[in-house]
Amino acid sequence: MTIEYEMAALKKVSFFKSLDEKKLKLLAYISECIELSKGETLCLQGDEGDCAFVILQGEIDVNVDDTRVITATTGDILGEIAILCEIPRTATLVAANEAKVLAISKDNFLKLLEEFPGVSFKIMREIAFRLEQTTRELAALKAETKV
């Protein structure tokens, strides 16, 4: 895995879409590349999260309360909220087959934001969009239940 490849993977992640190539490359460089064998656990539900994972290769099973909810695949990001605030992991991640993921640590990400305050704003916008979308969905859901 090279930085260039990892950068290309990050580019496809919508959470980071507002970052330019140079910053993505830096983000990739300061992150760790982790190799997983099949069945290896990446993180446990309830543990304190301190990094986000971007799948570079292979697939990861997302299990909640020992039940597989979804299988994430190349280009997906998992646990991204952990790089902004301390919350326990909401799911256990297990490699479905041989996989490589990029672990972006909270500390490093915050240092990057410190260096480029403009990025914080873009990330904030992205989160606001998501919040707005979730609120809308929730409202729709509520309306549906009422009906």
Partner 1 sequence: MEKSLIKFIWSYSSRYQLVILFATCLSYPVSYILLELPKQITNEAISGTDFPKNIAGYSLGQIEYLLVLCLLFLFLVIVSNGFKLFLNIYKGRLGERMLRRLRFDLYQRVLRFPLSHFKKVSSGQIIPMVTAEVEAVGGFIGEALALPAYQGGMLAVQIGFIFMQDAYLGLAAISLYPIQGYIIPKLQKRVLRLSRQRVQNVRVMADRLGETIQGVTDIHANDTSAYHSADFADRLYKNFKIRFDIYNRKYLIKFINNFMNQLTPFFFYLIGGYLAIKGELSIGALLAVIAAYKDLAGPWKELLAYYQLTADVNIKYQTVIENFDPANLKSIQKLTSDEVQSLKGPLVLEDVVYQAEVGASELDNINCQIPYAEHCSILGSEADGRKDLLMIMAGLLDPDKGVVKAAGHCLSMMSEATLGRKIAYAGPKPHIWTGTLRDNICYGLRHRPQSLPLLDKQSQREMQRWLYEAKMTSNPQLLSIANWDDLATANVTQPQQLDNNILEICEETGLSQDLYRLGLQAILNKDDHHELQIDILKLREEFAKACKNDSSLAKLIEPWERDRFNKSATLVQNLFYAVPRTTGFKLEDLLADKRIKTFIEKSGLYEPLVTMGYQTISLMVELFADISPDSELFSTYAFISYDDLPHYQSLLQQCGPGMSKRPPSDKDKKKLVSIALRLVPTKHRLGVVTEDFQAQIVTMRNKFIDETSQYPAQLELFDEKTYMQNLSVEANIIFGTVKLTKRDARQRIETVIREMVEDNSLVKPIRLAGLEYHVGIAGARLNDNQKRQLGLVRALMKQADIVILDEALASKTLEGQQRREALQKYLRNKTLIVGTTDPEIASQFPRQMQLKSGQLANSQGIEQQETDQNGGHDDN
What are the residues binding partner 1 (CB under 8 A)? 1-4, 6, 22, 25-26, 29-30, 32-37, 42, 103, 108, 111-112, 114-116
Q: How far is the CB of 47 from partner 1 (least distance, A)?
A: 11
The CA distance from 84 to 50, in Å, is: 9
Cβ distance to partner 1 smaller for residue 98 or 132: 98
Q: Which SS3 state, helix, strand or coil, does residue 37 take?
A: coil
Phi–psi pair at 144, nearest 5 degrees:
-60, -45
Tell me if 82 sits within 8 A of 49, measured CB to CB: yes
Q: For residue 44, how many other CB atoms are within 10 A of its CB?
A: 13
Cβ distance to partner 1 smaller for residue 20 or 132: 20
Cβ distance to partner 1 smaller for residue 33 or 81: 33
Q: How far is the CB of 35 from partner 1 (least distance, A)?
A: 4
